[in-house]
Amino acid sequence: MFKINKNNLKLTRIKLGLTKAEVSRLANISHNTLSRIEKGEHSPNPATIGKIAKALNIEIEKLIDIQD
């Protein structure tokens, strides 16, 4: 089982100089969804995590925490 690491997501986005609006557009998800993910209010499915990783041009592993 894995879960998105909201801190890694936000830090990566900021480090790349991207806004939530830009990442949500690149990932083809709503701005509200991305905002809720970053706040820890929403747990995205694997497909959405993949879209976000692709939008940020990083490997999925950099966005997730593996849990037992």
Tell me: pLDDT of 35 over 80.
yes
Question: pLDDT of 8-29, one tens digit each?
Answer: 999 999 999 999 999 999 999 9
pTM of the model: 0.91
Nearest CA to 34 out of 60, 1, 3, 6 is that of: 6
Nearest CA to 60 out of 16, 12, 14 is that of: 12
pLDDT band at residue 2 using 50, 70 and 90 as cut-offs: confident
Q: What is the CATH architecture of 2-66?
A: Orthogonal Bundle (1.10)
Contact criterion met (CB below 8 Å) for 34 and 52: yes
Cα–Cα distance measured from residue 27 to residue 29, given in angstroms and rounded to the nearest whole number = 6
SS3 content of the chain, % helix, strand, coil (to 5): 60, 10, 30
Domain ranges for the chain? 2-66
pLDDT band at residue 68 using 50, 70 and 90 as cut-offs: low
